[in-house]
Amino acid sequence: MAMSELDKNYLQYPHRSYGMDHKRYDWSMLQDRPKVVWPEGKLLALWVNVGLQYFPLNQKGHPFKVPGGMTKPYPDLRHYSLRDYGNRVGIYRFLKAFDRYGIKPTFAVSTRLAERTPYLIDKIKEREDEIICHGYHMDALHYGGQDQTEEAELIRKSLDGLRQISGQAIRGWISPAKNESANTPDLLAEQGINYFCDWVNDDLPYPFHTKKGSLIAMPLSTELEDYHIILNNQHSAESWSEQVCDACDFLLQDARDNGGRILSLNIHPWVLGQPHRIGYLEKVLDYLSSKPEVWSAYAGDIVDAWKA
């Protein structure tokens, strides 16, 4: 077959420059940045992020079905009640494990869940743990092509509601499904968010530019997430625990050579809060807490220490 000349427009981009093809953050190599030192000389900041999510039974799935959402025809009570189990039963197993091993968890909460389960938010408030916003609910997605006014109102409703219920300033944000539009970071900064966790392209925080000022991008690993490894990749809970411990060992050595790093664990009580899996979470927390170089901290405290 004859080869035709490549169309010259093929390599034309809206933005083209050294480093990155956008201006959202400044390009740099991780090893070239100043070495980070965490409080008390710790090497590895441990961020345990607990997803307290609400998946509506009457899921719309626009513009896509959210990961972890309903999969069967309405009413999908099998999956709806399983998610509910996590927020009624599994979460309390989490809390016992956190207290046993001295872990400071950050709770990413769907505002609709906070409205529906005030007793659960009261428990977190009583513990004085950090709460960040996980959107309005898991089917209220942010996406490319979404009307900007519509998205701005969704973010405002989510943050105003959670701030009122929790009594906290709510500095952090994770979009449902970690999905966003090109406008999402600008709208978050406009609503007073300091850091967001949708981008997973680093082992340290980094400044993120918006039209409304600077955000901090906090890398919340998808690769170590319980849902991703156990339910998506079909690995065992034992394999999940091994992967987390392996990541801890590698990042500790990296931190000894190159400065502080973050180990971020995104976990869900409807996944690891099951009777047959909670023991593996306890095993992981036991291993991580046994390392004297590990600093367990809230996400906001890690951001503040990194800034300092």
Q: Which domains does the chain have, with CATH numbers?
A: 40-307 (3.20.20.370)
Q: What is the pLDDT of residues 291-302, one digit of tens each?
A: 999 999 999 999
- Exposure string of 136-172, with b = 16+ CB inside 10 Å and e = fewer, is bbbbbbbbeebeeeebbebbeebbebbbebbebebbb
Cα separation, 218 vs 300, whole angstroms: 10
The residue among 151, 73, 138, 87 whose CA lies nearest residue 111 is: 138
The residue among 201, 199, 203, 200 whose CA lies nearest residue 257 is: 203
Cα separation, 37 vs 305, whole angstroms: 8
Specify the pLDDT at position 31.
Answer: 85
pLDDT at position 2 over 70: no
- Exposure string of 61-80, with b = 16+ CB inside 10 Å and e = fewer, is eeeeebbbbbeeeeebeebb
Arithmetic mean of pLDDT, 216-232: 97
Q: For the chain, what is the mean pLDDT?
A: 95
Structure tokens at 86: 């996590």
pLDDT at position 9 over 90: no
pLDDT at position 1 over 60: no
Give the range among 18-27, 170-179, 253-262, 294-303 with minimum mean pLDDT: 18-27
Q: What is the pLDDT of residues 41-87, one digit of tens each?
A: 999 999 999 999 999 999 999 999 999 999 999 999 999 999 999 99
Specify the pLDDT at position 3.
Answer: 61
pLDDT at position 17 over 90: no
Long-range CB contacts for residues 54-62, cutoff 8 Å, separation at least 24: 54/83, 54/87, 54/110, 54/112, 54/113, 54/116, 54/137, 54/138, 55/79, 55/80, 55/83, 55/137, 55/138, 55/139, 56/112, 56/137, 56/138, 56/139, 59/139, 60/139, 61/139, 62/141
Specify the pLDDT at position 170.
Answer: 98
